[in-house]
Amino acid sequence: MIKEAQILAHHGKQYIPDLTRSQVPAPFRGRPVISSTDADTKALMELCPTGAISDNPVSINLGKCLFCGECEFAFPEKIRFTNSHIMATNDSKKLVVREGEEERILLVPDMIREDIKRLFTRSLKLRQISAGGDNSCELELVACGNPNFDMGRFGIEFVASPRHADGIVITGPITENMAEAVQICNAAVPSPKIVVLCGADAISGGIFTGSRALNRKFLQEVHIDLYVPGNPPHPLTFINGILELTRVKHLNKRLNFKD
Amino acid sequence: MTRKIENTLKIKNGQSVSLSEIPVLEYREFYAVVLRLLNAEDVHCVNYYAYPDNDNLKFICCLADDSAQSVSLLSHILPSGKGPGELESLTRRVGALHIFERELWENFGVKFEGHPWMKPVRFSHNRYNRIIAMHDYPFYRIKSEELHEVGVGPIHAGVIEPGYFRFTCNGEMVLHLEIQLGWQHRGVERLFLEKPKLLQRTMLAESITGDTTIGHTLAFAQVMEGLSGISTDSRLDAERSIALELERIAVHTGDISALCTDVAYQLGAAVFGALRTPIINFTQEWCGNRFGKGLIRTGGSHYSLTNVLIQKLRKLLDDFEWRFKEMADKAYSLLSVENRFDNIGMVTNKQARLIGAVGMAARTSGVKRDIRHSHPFAAFRVISYVPVMLEKGDVYARYYLRRLEIEESINYIRRILDNEQFFLSETTPPVPEANLHLYPSSITVSMVEGWRGEICHSAVTDEEGNIIHYKVKDPSMHNWKALELSLRGLEISDFPINNKSYNLSYCGHDL
Ligand code: SF4
Over residues B303-325, the mean pLDDT reads: 94
Per-residue pLDDT for A233 more than 60? yes
Over residues B230-243, the mean pLDDT reads: 93
pTM for the structure as a whole: 0.94
B218: in domain: yes
Strand segments, DSSP code E, in B144-250 are: 148-152, 164-170, 173-180
Over residues B362-391, the mean pLDDT reads: 96
| Same-domain pairing of B107 and B214 | no
* pLDDT tens per residue across span A71-112: 999 999 999 999 999 999 999 999 999 999 998 888 988 889
For residues B291 and B280, the answer to whether their CB atoms sit within 8 Å is: yes
Residue B200: closest C-alpha in chain A: A49
ipTM of the complex in this document: 0.93
B150: in domain: no
Q: Is B58 helix (H, G, I), strand (E, B) or coil?
A: strand
- Distance (Å) from CA A52 to ligand 1 centroid: 6
B130: in domain: no
CA-based nearest residue to B203, from B72, B127, B296, B280: B296
Residue A201: closest C-alpha in chain B: B207
What's the number of domains chain B is made of? Answer: 2
- pLDDT more than 90, % of chain A: 73
**What integer pLDDT is reported at residue A252 of this predicted model?**
45
Residues of B in contact with A149 (CB under 8 A): none
User: Is the model more confident about B58 or about A20?
Assistant: B58
Q: Is A95 in the pocket of ligand 1 (CB under 6 A)?
A: no
Interface of B with A in 16-35 (CB under 8 A): none
| Same-domain pairing of B327 and B403 | yes
Burial of A197 (0-12, 13-18, 19+ CB in 10 A): buried
The alpha helices in B263-377, defined as continuous H runs, are 266-287, 307-331, 335-341, 349-355, 359-363, 371-374
Q: Cα A189 from chain centroid?
A: 21
**CATH classification of the domain holding B20:** 3.30.460.80
Q: Is A60 in the pocket of ligand 1 (CB under 6 A)?
A: yes
Question: Smallest CA–CA separation between B208 and chain A, in Å?
Answer: 6
**What integer pLDDT is reported at residue A257 of this predicted model?**
53
Q: Out of B121, B147, B164, pick the residue that ends a domain.
A: B121
For the CA atoms of chain A, what is the radius of gyration? 19
**A128–B159: do the CB atoms touch at under 8 Å?**
yes
| Same-domain pairing of B202 and B58 | no
Alpha-carbon distance of A69 to A80, in angstroms, equals 9
* pLDDT tens per residue across span B237-255: 999 999 999 999 999 999 9
Q: Give counts: helices (H), strands (E), chain A.
A: 9, 10
The Cα diameter of chain B in Å comes to 73
Alpha-carbon distance of B192 to B200, in angstroms, equals 8
* pLDDT tens per residue across span B403-440: 999 999 999 999 999 988 887 556 677 788 778 899 99
**What integer pLDDT is reported at residue A64 of this predicted model?**
97
- CA angle, residues B310, B300, B505, in degrees to nearest 5: 80
Over residues A116-136, the mean pLDDT reads: 92
- Domain spans in chain A, listed from the N-terminal domain onward: 32-98, 109-251
For the CA atoms of chain B, what is the radius of gyration? 22
Question: Smallest CA–CA separation between A234 and chain B, in Å?
Answer: 9
B149: in domain: no
The sign of the dihedral angle between the CA atoms of B134, B138, B139, B141 is: positive
| Same-domain pairing of B65 and B211 | no
Q: Out of B90, B121, B152, pick the residue that ends a domain.
A: B121
Per-residue pLDDT for A255 more than 60? no
Confidence band for A256, pLDDT divided at 50, 70 and 90: low
Query: What is the residue with the minimal CA distance to atom 4 of ligand 1?
Result: A71
| Same-domain pairing of B197 and B117 | no
Least-confidence region, from A2-16, B91-105, B232-246: A2-16
Interface of A with B in 118-157 (CB under 8 A): 128-143, 146-148
- Distance (Å) from CA B486 to ligand 1 centroid: 44
Q: In Å, what is the CA distance from B213 to each residue of A195, B24, B205, B219, B289?
A: 28, 35, 7, 10, 11
Least-confidence region, from A13-17, A183-187, B73-77, B114-118: A13-17
- pLDDT more than 90, % of chain B: 88
Interface of B with A in 191-250 (CB under 8 A): 191, 194-195, 197, 199-200, 202-204, 207-211, 213
- pLDDT more than 70, % of chain B: 98
Q: Is B74 helix (H, G, I), strand (E, B) or coil?
A: strand
For residues A5 and A52, the answer to whether their CB atoms sit within 8 Å is: no
Q: Which CATH number fits domain A109-251: 3.40.50.2300, 3.40.50.12280, 3.90.470.20, 1.10.1040.10?
A: 3.40.50.12280
Alpha-carbon distance of A128 to A140, in angstroms, equals 12
- Residue B162: asked if its preceding bond is cis (omega within 30°), the reply is no
CA-based nearest residue to B75, from B91, B87, B59, B89: B59
Q: Which domain holds residue B25?
A: 3-121
Confidence band for A12, pLDDT divided at 50, 70 and 90: confident
B142: in domain: no
B263: in domain: yes
Q: Out of B121, B147, B173, pick the residue that ends a domain.
A: B121
**CATH classification of the domain holding B210:** 1.10.645.10
Q: In Å, what is the CA distance from B43 to each residue of A4, B173, B355?
A: 47, 36, 14
* pLDDT tens per residue across span B27-69: 999 999 999 999 999 999 999 999 999 889 999 999 999 999 9
B338: in domain: yes
* pLDDT tens per residue across span A185-201: 999 999 999 999 999 99
**What integer pLDDT is reported at residue A250 of this predicted model?**
46
B377 vs A: CB within 8 A? no
Q: What is the 3-state secondary structure (H, E, C) of B404-423?
A: HHHHHHHHHHHHHHHCHHHH
| Same-domain pairing of B235 and B96 | no
| Same-domain pairing of B217 and B89 | no
Residues of A in contact with B277 (CB under 8 A): 143, 146, 148
Alpha-carbon distance of B43 to B29, in angstroms, equals 18
Q: Give counts: helices (H), strands (E), chain B.
A: 17, 15
Confidence band for B378, pLDDT divided at 50, 70 and 90: very high
For the A32-98 domain, the top CATH level (class) is: alpha beta
**What integer pLDDT is reported at residue B2 of this predicted model?**
46
* pLDDT tens per residue across span B133-175: 999 999 999 888 899 999 998 999 888 899 999 999 999 999 9
Over residues A142-155, the mean pLDDT reads: 90
**What integer pLDDT is reported at residue B54 of this predicted model?**
86
Atom of ligand 1 nearest to the CA of A69: 1
CA-based nearest residue to B217, from B316, B110, B292: B292
B296: in domain: yes
**What integer pLDDT is reported at residue A259 of this predicted model?**
45
